[in-house]
Amino acid sequence: MKKKLSAEEIRSQYIKSLLIIEKSNLEGEYKIGNKEGKKIIKLFKLLEEDIDLAKEVLPSLFEHESVKVKICVAAHCLALEIFEEQAVDILEKISELNLRVFSFEAEMTLKVWREQGYLRVYQK
């Protein structure tokens, strides 16, 4: 039986994996980023099953210094339909910053969410 992760353990893993993904995006090391991306999807699935836990974990990461952490957390909030106003605000600000691939990612995340009315993090 797997041990249930605490909010702090989930937060720490989000940050660790997203910092690796951010670095891999900038350096073109996509295999490394893809490996960490799988970990992020597993974390998202945990939060998807426990919205109260998601409400505890995700907003505390809105202020993280990493733009990748902010984008991912905002996207996950939109997908879970929680803290949508804050998530949109974060993504709009990042999309205006001209931060290489990250501004484009924020812009496209908002575009898809607005056009579809929902956001999916993974294929079901």
User: In this structure, is residue 11 part of a structural domain?
Assistant: yes
CATH of the domain at 89: 1.25.40.70
For residue 80, give the nearest of 107, 104, 105, 57 by alpha carbon.
57
Contact 22, 67 (CB under 8 A): yes
- Percent of the chain with pLDDT strictly greater than 90: 84
Number of structural domains in the chain:
1
Tokens of 4: 């249930």
Q: Which range, of 28-37, 89-98, 102-111, averages the lowest pLDDT? A: 28-37
User: In this structure, is residue 122 part of a structural domain?
Assistant: no
* Domain encompassing residue 78: 7-116
Contact 79, 119 (CB under 8 A): yes
User: In this structure, is residue 121 part of a structural domain?
Assistant: no
pTM: 0.93
- Which residue stretches of the chain are H helix? 7-27, 30-49, 51-57, 67-80, 84-95, 100-116
- Residue 85 pLDDT level (bands cut at 50, 70, 90): very high
- Judged against a pLDDT cut of 80, whether residue 110 lies above it is answered with yes
Per-residue pLDDT reduced to its tens digit, 14-65: 999 999 999 998 898 889 999 999 999 999 999 999 999 999 999 999 999 9
- Judged against a pLDDT cut of 50, whether residue 1 lies above it is answered with no
User: In this structure, is residue 2 part of a structural domain?
Assistant: no
User: In this structure, is residue 1 part of a structural domain?
Assistant: no
